[in-house]
Amino acid sequence: MRGSSAAGEARNAAQRGGAASVGIEPLTSRGPRRLAKPKPVRVQADKVGRPLRIGHREVDAVRESWLVEDRWWTDEPLRRRYWEVVTGDGRDLVVFRDLEEGRWYAQR
């Protein structure tokens, strides 16, 4: 095979009617990337639990709400009600209430 560049290999493969393969970078030893840890936040909610105010920001709209229940078979079940909201200053926030602890957290 003439030339050892990736472009040369692709050109040769195309001329033979095949496709070129591209190498994948090796995995690093750092392991998986951690998700952002939720931060405690002060939330004022209505009687059904819908956020009205998050910190000093007023909630203008609720985009969606969803319930996550997991690990119910363990000693540490996970039960959270998530809310994606838009605040008065246009920010898109995701908060959740830990239904086991009764505390609120900001996801982003």
- Consecutive 10-residue averages of pLDDT for the chain (108 residues): 58 64 62 80 97 98 97 92 98 97 93
pLDDT for position 96: 98
In this predicted structure, what is the pLDDT of residue 23?
A: 60
User: Could you state, in order of their start, the residue ranges of all structural domains in the chain?
Assistant: 31-106
Confidence at residue 53, expressed as pLDDT on a 0 to 100 scale: 98
CA torsion 63→67→71→74, rounded to 10°? 130
Strand, coil or helix: 46: coil
Share of the chain above pLDDT 70, in %: 70
pLDDT attached to residue 89? 97
Residue 58 confidence (pLDDT): 98
